[in-house]
Amino acid sequence: MSDIDTAGILAQFEISGTVREVKPLGNGLINDTYRVVTEPNGAPDYVLQRINNAIFQDVDLLQHNIEVVTAHIRRKLEAAGTPDIGRRVLQFVKARSGKTYYRDEAGRYWRVMVFIPDSVTHEVVTPEHAYDCGKAFGNFEKMLVDVPEQLGETIPDFHNMELRIRQLREAVQNDAAGRLAEVRDIVDELERDADEMCQAERLYREGRLPKRICHCDTKVNNMLFDRDGQVLCVIDLDTVMPSFIFSDYGDFLRTAANFTAEDDPDLSRVGFNEEIFKAFTTGYLESARDFLKPIEVELLPYAVALFPFMQCVRFLTDYLNGDTYYKIKYPTHNLDRTRNQLTLYRTVRQHNDAISTFIHTLL
């Protein structure tokens, strides 16, 4: 960041206090994030973020979504008399242009938000966290059911399974990296279930399944906790967009309820953690059951399978294309990820009855 004039960038924003220090924050893979320490004491600290506009190509739409969503949540919290609102929803700072972002001379996009004091993030999910995360993500969706404006898709068709299958078929057709022969059996296995896994898109076209405002990147590290372990708020709002609620419910379980990391090459360690599943689902339905339609609840077991399946398709597509999307650390990294997610998918399918039975006990 030595080549970046952070003082010049920060001068474009309406911040209070004097900047004392700017230092890297967090370990996000998409945006670059810094903490801005100010003085005198009493002025808030800030978070400065460079928005990755290679991935999020419409920054104006992105920030518009985020402004609408945070303003709406703030109004809900105020109406409910929630204390300490400054720590329960992100607050973005206006740039001198009146927008909540600034484009510098090099074409880089920046935004600033108020730093939430005394907060921590977690990388690993315990059953207690999983319950709280379920409640918090369910509540996040609940607060957004009546957003007064249409929001755009910050990555168009991000969780559209039909599109992901089409992309896989194209990758198979092109076989750009000459890797098809090696993964033919995986392609065949995925093709057998492709139709079934695309049912959400069909139900949507038939008008039976709604899209709602979802977070679409539900990981435990996208949540702030206070020092006592209470959830403060949901962060990383770039992917907030209309989607099926399965995006939030299923994608959280894909990472949290796998006994191991998504790229662990030792497939004997991959498995479905029922305790985390039960805790997350209990919390999620406590918040979400009043607004979910029966069809959404009925399809929750499908959502648990859909996300390992979709991620497997996405990793395999990238492997066939010669690793153009996901960062890799070694040549077969995407293949290891593919096999890991396929194993998780198969395991989830084996747990299908137990998953359905548990969900019914909560209703």
Q: Which string of x and - marks every residue 112-151 that binds ligand GN1 (by CB under 6 A)?
A: ----------------------------------------
Identify which of residues 153 and 296 has a Cβ nearer to ligand GN1 in the complex: 153
Residue 281: alpha-carbon gap to chain centroid: 17
Nearer to ligand GN1, 160 or 311 (CB): 311
**DSSP secondary structure string for all residues of 243-280:** E-THHHHHHHHHHHTBSS-TT-S-GGG--B-HHHHHHH
Instruction: Name the DSSP class of 222.
Output: G
Q: Which stretch binds Mg ion (CB under 5 A): 25-33, 147-155, 273-281, 347-355?
A: 25-33
Sheet of 109-114: strands edge to edge? Answer: 18-24, 32-39, 46-51, 109-114, 102-103
Closest approach of ligand GN1 to the CB of residue 55, in Å: 6
The letter for the amino acid at 72 is H
Question: What does the DSSP 8-state code read for residue 50?
Answer: E
Identify what 323 binds: ligand GN1, Mg ion, none; CB under 5 to 8 Å per kind: none
CB half-sphere exposure, 205, CA atoms < 13 A: 6
User: Binding-site residue total for ligand GN1 (CB under 6 A)?
Assistant: 7
Nearest approach in angstroms of CB 205 to ligand GN1 is 23
Q: Is 247 a binder of ligand GN1 (CB under 6 A)?
A: no
- Judged by CB under 5 A, the residue of 132, 153, 201, 236 near Mg ion is 236
Describe the crossing of helices 333-350 and 352-361 by its angle, rounded to 10 degrees. Answer: 60
Structure tokens at 294: 């029966």
User: In the complex, what is the shortest distance from the CB of residue 137 to Mg ion, in angstroms, rounded to a whole number?
Assistant: 14
Position 162 contacts ligand GN1 (CB under 6 A)? no
* List 29, 54, 79, 124, residue binding ligand GN1 (CB under 6 A): 29
Q: Which residue among 65, 154, 222, 287 contacts Mg ion (CB under 5 A)? A: 222
Does position 30 bind ligand GN1 by CB under 6 A?
yes
Residues 221, 122: contact at Cβ < 8 Å? Answer: yes
CA-to-CA distance for 317 and 334, rounded, in angstroms?
9
What is the Cα–Cα distance from 251 to 214, expressed in whole angstroms? Answer: 11
For the chain, where are the alpha helices, taking DSSP H only? 6-10, 59-79, 127-143, 161-174, 180-197, 199-205, 246-256, 274-288, 294-298, 300-320, 333-350, 352-361
Which one of Mg ion, ligand GN1, none interacts with residue 222, CB within 5 to 8 A by kind?
Mg ion
Min separation Cβ 233 and ligand GN1, Å: 18
DSSP letter assigned to residue 148:
S
Residue whose CB is less far from ligand GN1, 311 or 343: 311
Residues 182-221: x/- map of binding to ligand GN1 (CB under 6 A)? Answer: -----------------------------------x----
The residues that touch Mg ion, with contacts defined as CB under 5 A, are 28, 222, 236
The residues that touch ligand GN1, with contacts defined as CB under 6 A, are 29-30, 55, 155, 217, 262, 311
